[in-house]
Amino acid sequence: MKFTEWLREYMTETGNLSGQVDVDKAAESIRSNIYFRGPNVWILAFSIIIASVGLNVNSTAVIIGAMLISPVMGPIIGMGLGLGVNDTKLLADSLRNLLIMVVISLIASSLFFLISPLNLANPTELEARTSPSIYDVLIALFGGFAGILEQARKEKGTVMSGVAIATALMPPLCTAGFGLAKWNLHFFFGAMYLFTINAIFIMFATYVACKYLHFHQKSFSDERTALRTKRIITIVVILVTVPSIWSAFVMIRDNNFTTNARNFVSENRMYAKSYIYDYKIDKGRKRAVTLFLSGEALGEEEKLALMEVAGKYGIKANELKIKDNAYSTEDSESKMLVEGIYERMDRQLASKENEILSLQATLDSLNGRRIPYEQITAETVAQYPSVRSLHLSRGATVSADSTRTDGVLAIAYCSSDLGAQDKARLENWLRVRIGTPVLTLMTARATDSKRTVNQ
């Protein structure tokens, strides 16, 4: 019991923010950072261009650097502070500057992507900013809490840099600019939805933190103004909170549906005599899982049984679509691409095979012309005992008029002179044995040779 009380007191003391925050300075700092004019406008435009380059070349390091430069969180935190302290003027000023920031970002990124000569076949960094998930909600929410606490604490650190990177407000705006430049509504609306989600949850976290840390509320000159302001703030809070909760709910539902669908496919790849070679998950209002099967087509009873199995994973019968031996549009494009690659490889292989055959023929020709030196020398010595060694070499005789004659030069090193008849007979025999019409035979005394066959 004592340990429990000690632990509770220790945790309370450890997490106590009393004396660690300065709400007045925090409010002053937030108010001063909501405006976009002068250097802030140019810094924002330059950072947007840098982030757009990073997205265009799929460079995460460049994107992170741009997020560290950009001053985009000021108006969003200002809106959260305005809601938290009932300051409608701060709320309006922050909203106006947020809209200015969005417009500048869209213009800068759109112009960049209009003039950029680089078109990526697989822009993964851009596509990643078009489909927000529940993780984006959690990052924005807790990033907002970390941001406002960093603003409020007395000893400043480097938290805001980390928050700027984690919440990733700039890349969605750059992606939306890409959607405008390429007139791709999927990229534009997907990225703007992600930016809106991030901004709303950062604003909501700031609002909650301002209430918890007891930021000083704005005082009003009369009760009527106070009542009207509180009503406006209440309406705005509801407009911010309800969509936030609904978006989080939808994202959790879609995330669970996607997870269940993937588990269903991975655990039922082989079904009956068919194989699920691909699948497609559609989220939103009309949720569906489309299966692409190869092998024998499923009968009606097998399809019903497969739908029952899908039901165990939370997938309703009307949410499951089965396509036997069919390709989706994306699959058809992939199939055509793969077939094109195979055709190109076949052509390259055929070309290489022809080169190999040509080289083999050349090699066979060279091998056919090779003189069996040792064998011919042994046969010559056996027929003519006075021959001690034999020199054989292929060569060409070129006359003064550039006439070329290919032939063989033979030099017989003898211990005694060969008669004219023996020399003629040896020359004819060598011509037939080597298989050349042109052969010149010369003789020399064996003492002049090294008694070896020079090949």
What are the structural domain ranges in the chain? 13-218, 258-329, 332-370, 373-448
Q: Which residues pair with 293 in a beta bridge?
A: 276, 324
Q: Which segments within 296-386 are labelled E, that is strand?
A: 320-324
Most confident by average pLDDT, 115-129, 325-339, 437-451: 437-451
pLDDT in tens, 184-242: 887 888 888 888 888 888 888 888 888 877 777 777 666 676 677 667 767 766 776 67
- What confidence score (pLDDT) does residue 319 get? 81
d(CA 345, CA 332): 20
Q: Which pLDDT belongs to residue 418?
A: 81
Task: Record the tokens describing residue 233, joined without a space.
Answer: 């703030």
pLDDT at position 449 is 44
Residue 201: which of 253, 139, 152, 252 has the closest Cα? Answer: 139
Q: Is the pLDDT of residue 166 over 70?
A: no
Tokens of 336: 């055509």
The whole-number pLDDT of residue 17 equals 61
Q: CA 109, CA 168: separation in Å to the nearest integer?
A: 16
Q: What is the pLDDT of residue 451?
A: 45
Residue 280 main-chain phi, psi, to 5 deg? -135, 130
Which range is most confident: 8-12, 184-188, 333-337, 387-391? 387-391
Instruction: State how far the Cα of 105 lies from the Cα of 71, in Å rounded to an integer.
Output: 11
Question: What mean pLDDT do residues 13-17 have?
Answer: 61
Percent of the chain topping pLDDT 70: 76
Does the structural domain 258-329 have CATH classification 2.60.40?
no
State pLDDT tens for residues 49-69.
888 877 777 777 777 777 777
Q: Does the pLDDT of residue 450 top 50, yes or no?
A: no
- Tell whether the torsion through CA atoms of 203, 208, 213 and 218 is positive or negative: positive
Strands 320-324 and 288-295: parallel
Quick one: pLDDT at residue 359?
Answer: 79
Query: Which residues make beta-bridge pairs with 406?
Result: 396
Mean pLDDT across the stretch 300-325? 80
Average pLDDT, the chain: 76
Mean pLDDT of 265-291: 78
Query: Is pLDDT of 39 > 50?
Result: yes
Q: Determine the Cα–Cα distance for residues 19 and 27; give it in Å rounded to an integer.
A: 16
Instruction: Give the per-residue pLDDT at 273.
Output: 73
Residue-level pLDDT at 157:
61
pLDDT by residue (tens digit) across 386-445?
A: 888 888 888 777 777 777 877 888 888 888 888 888 888 888 888 888 878 888 888 888
On whether the 13-218 domain is CATH 1.20.1080, my answer is yes
pLDDT for 368 equals 55
Q: Could you identify the residue written with the tokens 């003898």? A: 414
Phi, psi (deg, nearest 5) at residue 410: -120, 130
Residues 102-131, mean pLDDT to the nearest whole number? 72
Domains 13-218 and 373-448 share a fold: no
Local confidence band at 454 (pLDDT 50, 70, 90 cut-offs): very low
Instruction: Yes or no: say if 141 and 204 are a contact pair by the CB < 8 Å rule.
Output: yes
Q: Which CATH class is domain 373-448?
A: alpha beta
Q: How confident is the model at residue 146 (pLDDT cuts 50, 70, 90)?
A: confident
For residues 179 and 112, the answer to whether their CB atoms sit within 8 Å is no
Using a cut of 0.75, tell me whether the model's pTM lies above it.
no
**24, pLDDT greater than 80:** no
Q: Give me Rg for the CA atoms of the chain.
A: 43
Above 50 in pLDDT, residue 106? Answer: yes
Tokens of 63: 């994107």
Higher pLDDT, 19 or 371: 371
| pLDDT of res. 26 | 75
